Structure formats: C-alpha cells, structure tokens
C-alpha cells in the first residue's frame, strides 16, 4: 500500500499502478502526497500558505479581489486547448450537452493573454501554442483549483497534431509524451540546471476516453506516444520551414524511428502537460486530432470546413466523458 493519505488509489485491478502513476510520493518519499484525503489539491509549495494575496497574473485574477472558492468551487473538469476560438466553441458544446443556460463570458479578459470560460462544472480555457505558454496557464489553473478547494479535478487538453502512419482526422489519446531528444521527460531548467520530470499520462483515463468512441463516430481512435516538439518546422523534421539543412531521406528515417518508438502523433505540449499534472497528482489526458500524416507531407492543406470538423472530434469525446462522469457524480 502506498504510504500516503491520497485517496486516488481506487479499487481497480491496476490500483497500485494508478496511484504510482499519479502520486509523486512514490518517486520522492521525502514529500507528502500532493492531495488531501478529501481529494482536494494540496500543492506542495509552502510559500503559498504564507501569502496574504496572490496575483494570478496571466489570468487577471487575485485571491483578495475575487472569491475564487465561490467562483470555481464547483469545478470538476478543466479543458484546455490552443485557441480562444476553439475553447469558446467547447464551452458552447458543453452548455448544450449538459443542458446549462450559458452566455459566453471571458473570465480572464483583463489579462489580454488567455481566454477562460466556465460552464457549470467545466472550465474551458485557451493555452496558446507550445510548452511555455501552456505551462503558465496550467500552473495558474492549478493555483485557482487549489484556492477554490476543488476536489479530484480532471484536466483535458484538446488539440491538433501531425499523425504518424495514421489517417488524417484520427484521434490520438496520449499514453506518454516524448521530448525532442527522445526521452519520456519534460526537461525544465531550474536555478540553472535541467530537471527531468517524467511525462506519463494516467492510464485508466486513456482507457476510459477510448471507450467513449463508437464505430458510428466515423474516425479511428488510437492511444500511444505523443512527441512534444519545441518548434513547428525543424523541430518536427519539416522540409518547408525557412531553415532546413537535412534531406528528405533523413526526415523520413527520423519519423520512421519515432513510429518504431510508439509515437503516434506530434504536437507541442504533451510532455510538460503530463509531467505537471502528475506532479500535482491531478488526472489528465491529451486528446488530439491529426490534421495530416507526416510520412506523406509537411504542409497543412486541410480546407477550413474539414479542419473545423476535425477539431470537433476531440470535443465530442471529451464532452461525452464529462457528461457521463458528471451524471455519475450527481447521482452519488
């Protein structure tokens, strides 16, 4: 049994593994579990408890002017995605399927940075492009969930990506993130030295999400590795950026190597998302649609209409999961 008061270990066949995957107590026995027994987030940074007021700068919120508990205390799910447009659409989608009266209201408008909407138990929020932009948002969301004493939240990311040997329009639910030097870690320099934080997603959540898809949906859903690249062009072996000094053969052989490692798609956030969610002991899943098969090309030539249709697919799956899970919570 794990030596902590985390209630995360559910009585499933993979209970122990589940807990291990999500509780940092197991890989650093000097720290307590980052969750309280009631499921609310603990956040292991002791400085937070001593702060009279906390300015959550990029969301334009603070703990003195806003009552975060009353604003966000009922949150159960956070869904992040790159663009404001997509997350506004997701909020609308959730209002519809949860049957909630809703008028779009960007709660972080004053910050000029991210766009955040709330529909009942769901926060829908944009994170921009890339790890640095996403981690600012994610860390500030974790602080909001902490101050609001939210219990057992689940965080999703819905995104777009390039697929590897799978048809355009497929869905990939990430099992783990791979960094640019082919390791399953998020590499973050802290005080001048690189830290390598494991980037593995919650296994059960991947399975649960995958079980939401039916044959009638008309697209294929994969689980597997996701490369989080630091760049869209050279960082993803594209031949069509302003800079490129490798050959088409070198590119193909690199992408084939990624396939052999179990990578199904390439985006720009997975490693850091898996790592930070795990550090906070929050269940998280990265659900991306593929816009092209990178083995066949680099350019995103998908027409606008098809692109919007593709982008709906992660929304449908995550929306279905939330609706089902929320119904279950409300019944108990």
Site for its own copies in 197-226 (CB under 8 A): none
- Of 191, 195, 201, 173, the closest CA to residue 267 belongs to 173
- Closest CB to its own copies among 129 and 323? 129
Q: Is residue 245 part of the contact set for its own copies (CB under 8 A)? A: yes
Q: Of the candidates 11, 47, 215, 249, which one interacts with its own copies according to CB under 8 A?
A: 47
- The three-class DSSP label of residue 166 is coil
- Closest CB to its own copies among 144 and 322? 144
320 burial via Cβ count (<10 Å: 0-12, 13-18, 19+)? middle
- Closest CB to its own copies among 178 and 213? 178
Q: Is residue 257 part of the contact set for its own copies (CB under 8 A)? A: yes
Q: Is residue 104 part of the contact set for its own copies (CB under 8 A)? A: no
Site for its own copies in 146-185 (CB under 8 A): 146, 179-182
- Residue 88 makes CB contacts below 8 A (sequence gap 6+) with 104, 115, 117, 124
Site for its own copies in 263-302 (CB under 8 A): 268, 276, 279-280, 299-301
CB neighbourhood size of 46 (10 A): 7
Using alpha carbons only, give the angle 160, 265, 15 rounded to the nearest 5 degrees.
Answer: 100
Q: Of the candidates 20, 66, 102, 232, which one interacts with its own copies according to CB under 8 A?
A: 232
Contact by Cβ (8 Å): 314, 236: no
- Closest CB to its own copies among 151 and 320? 151
Dihedral of the alpha carbons of 193, 186, 158, 264, in degrees to the nearest 10:
150
Q: Is residue 58 part of the contact set for its own copies (CB under 8 A)? A: yes
- Closest CB to its own copies among 1 and 194? 194
Site for its own copies in 4-33 (CB under 8 A): 31
Site for its own copies in 298-327 (CB under 8 A): 299-301, 304
Residue 72: DSSP 8-state: H
């Amino acid at each position: 049994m794990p030596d902590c008061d985390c209630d995360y270990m559910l009585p499933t066949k993979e209970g122990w593994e589940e807990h291990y995957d999500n509780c940092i107590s197991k890989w650093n026995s000097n720290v307590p579990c980052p969750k309280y027994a009631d499921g609310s987030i603990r956040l292991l940074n002791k400085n937070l408890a001593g702060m009279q007021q906390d300015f959550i700068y990029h969301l334009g919120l603070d703990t003195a002017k806003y009552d975060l508990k009353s604003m966000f205390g009922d949150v159960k799910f956070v869904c992040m995605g790159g663009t404001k447009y997509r997350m506004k659409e997701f909020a609308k989608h959730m209002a519809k399927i949860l049957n909630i009266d809703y008028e779009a209201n960007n709660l972080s408008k004053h910050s000029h940075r991210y766009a955040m909407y709330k529909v009942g138990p769901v926060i829908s929020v944009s994170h921009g492009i890339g790890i640095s932009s996403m981690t600012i948002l994610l860390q500030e969301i974790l602080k909001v969930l902490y101050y609001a004493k939210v219990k057992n939240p689940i965080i999703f990311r819905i995104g777009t990506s390039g697929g590897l040997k799978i048809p355009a329009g497929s869905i990939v639910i990430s099992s783990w993130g791979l960094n640019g030097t082919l390791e399953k870690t998020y590499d973050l320099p802290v005080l001048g030295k690189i830290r390598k934080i494991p980037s593995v997603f919650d296994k059960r959540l991947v399975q649960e999400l995958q079980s939401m898809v039916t044959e009638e949906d008309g697209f294929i859903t994969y689980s597997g590795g996701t490369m989080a690249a630091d760049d869209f062009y050279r960082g993803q072996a594209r031949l069509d950026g302003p800079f490129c000094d490798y050959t088409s053969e070198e590119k193909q052989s690199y992408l084939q190597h990624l396939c052999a490692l179990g990578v199904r798609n390439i985006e720009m956030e997975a490693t850091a998302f898996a790592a930070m969610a795990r550090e906070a002991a929050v269940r998280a899943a990265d659900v991306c649609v593929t816009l092209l098969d990178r083995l066949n090309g680099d350019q995103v030539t998908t027409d606008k209409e098809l692109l919007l249709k593709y982008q709906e697919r992660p929304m449908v799956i995550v929306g279905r999961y939330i609706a089902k899970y929320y119904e279950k919570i409300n019944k108990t």
